[in-house]
Amino acid sequence: MIRMSALAALGLALGLLATAPAMAHHSFAMFDFNRTVTLKGTVKEFQWTNPHVILWIETDPVGTDAPAMWAAELTSPGNLMRNGWSHQTLKPGDKIELELNPLRDGKHGGGFHRATLLATGQELTGAGPGPAKP
């Protein structure tokens, strides 16, 4: 009886250790949720992949700033589908306004907050990682 309990405890401990990397994956500390950046540009790629969908846009030139590539991280395809998205929601060539919480390290990327399709005015929300904005 004691041997079975010890084996069960060992199995539980090993199971918890195996899940530690998965739990660490869901940190959003890299995003600055105290700041929001709004960009206008053209969708270059919409990567519908696990564990997170990635949206790549090329920004429109502003003043003397040249166009730049930015990446926005969304949630998983499954979560997006539950919010009405599909792999065809955004297509290369779509002109959008993108709102994101930028990366803390200053690189061109961030956590998706909202996008607006400029041709139709359709707003896409509710699928970004981290805390919801008011």
- Residue 86 near residue 3, CB atoms below 8 Å: no
Three-state SS at 51: coil
Three-state SS at 4: helix
pLDDT in tens, 110-127: 999 999 999 999 889 864
DSSP string, 87-111: TTSS-TT-EEEEEEEEBTT-SSEEE
- The pTM of this model reads 0.74
pLDDT band at 62; cut points 50, 70, 90: confident
Closest among 46, 42, 39 to 65, alpha carbons compared: 39
